[in-house]
Amino acid sequence: MSQRSCLSVILAAGEGTRMKSAMPKVLHAIAGLPMVAHVVKAAEAAGATGLALVIGHGADEMRRAAHKFAPKAETFVQEKRLGTAHAVLAAREAISKGYDDILVMFGDTPLIDAQALAAARQKLAEGVAVVVIGFRPPSPIGYGRLIEKGGKLVAIREEKDCSEDEKKIGFCNAGMMAVAGEHALRLLDKVGNKNAKGEFYLTDIVEIAGAEGLDVVAMEAGFESALGINNRAELAEAEAIWQTRRRREAMLAGVTLIAPETVYFSHDTEIGADTIVEPNVWFGPGVKISTGATIHAFSHLTGATIAENCEIGPFARLRPGADLRKKAKVGNFCEVKQATVEEGAKVNHLTYVGDARVGAGANIGAGTITCNYDGYSKFFTDIGEGAFVGSNSSLVAPVTIGKGGYIASGSVITESVPDDALAFGRARQRTIPGKGKELRERLASAAAARKKAAE
């Protein structure tokens, strides 16, 4: 089957009115990735060599989004919504290219199992003309039933058209199917619209193919794999299922999650074995963690790269471009953005490091900030190996702290500091005896006067 070509036609033209959103339904995200992109990933994992996205509502927005998650996909607009078969035929140009297999999928089923799609393709390779993917929901009410006889699928019956015996069938239509490319256009063109809604239903090709003497079968996928998303509540349910799957994968791969239900991964999170993740940690897109790291509670990471044996948090914020090398530490209430923290360096407390390099073994004191933005442009701060920056210091970029440099606490550093130099950037303290009492009395008198005037 590996040599068979495959086109995945993904139907993503629905308005999704029940989402109550101006954004196309299929662009709502699961684990930081649009749900339709999850469908694309499943199709690719099942061996799809071509992708056709059928779009409608928000077509321009869909094209822009698709360029990011499926840059090679062709897009086709379904101008009028006249049923699922009509939607598939919007991609006629792609279907006519002569693919061996055609997978028809829906953009709002983000949990679809790639293995089920691959199994459906295998049936096509064995000579079956149409494979319908079904599932067994907890209750079949509201779903079309898959009617089988002698191991063949003979019809997909909508519930309103089912007999009493057919309503008892628990095997239901998941909507997705695989069709042999040599038959696809012919079968689709035979679908009519003589029904109550006057629409062209994809499900009709089951009986059309059967009437031609072609083999049609159904195969079963898990209930979660067929879960369609129609509203925000179902979106949250799908997110929960995805997160549960991913947490289990991480733990089975050697990651310790102390309270798994409180940890949230993104679709592309990479996390190495022997990493410990404490409760209430959020991994945004683009996080890569090597082995042996510790991520303390209530940390939020996005677009960060973390080498082995680093320590993060608690309450740490790593933003895009944060690059932590071996045994680096970013501690309590610290934020790092577009900066490298080299091997063994420590950024321990209440600190902001942005657009910077913190050299190996350097120590950044509590309350230190790199002043990287002047309101118009960003500037770089370079802190050398083994440097010590005292608490409550402001490093006004562009500035360089040399190797082994020492910055006195409370300094505002505006000029570069040579290697091994000591820099003070603060006003000399002046103490005036009795002046504190005089100041308090003057301020109290003024406050009393204001209060009396207000009365």
Q: Which of 57, 183, 300, 349 is catalytic?
A: 349
Phi first, then psi: give them for residue 170, nearest 5 degrees.
-95, -5
Distance CA(232)–CA(55), nearest Å, equals 21
Distances in Å between the Cα of 87 and the Cα atoms of 20, 64, 106, 136, 349 are 23, 20, 11, 26, 56
Q: Which of 7, 3, 4 is nearest to 40 (CA)?
A: 7
Q: What share of the chain is helix, strand, coil (3-state, %, to 5)?
A: 25, 30, 45
N-term to C-term CA, the chain: 90
Beta strands in 13-88 (DSSP E): 29-30, 33-34, 50-55, 74-77
Q: Which helix (H) or strand (E) holds 283?
A: strand 282-283
Distance CA(146)–CA(259), nearest Å, equals 41
Contact 276, 295 (CB under 8 A): yes
Q: Tell me the Ramachandran region of residue 274: left when phi exceeds 0, alpha when psi lies from -120 to 50, beta otherwise.
A: left
- Does 349 participate in catalysis according to the annotation? yes
Q: Tell me the Ramachandran region of residue 301: left when phi exceeds 0, alpha when psi lies from -120 to 50, beta otherwise.
A: beta
- Tally the C-alpha atoms within 13 A of residue 280's C-alpha that lie toward its C-beta: 7
| Residues belonging to the active site | 349
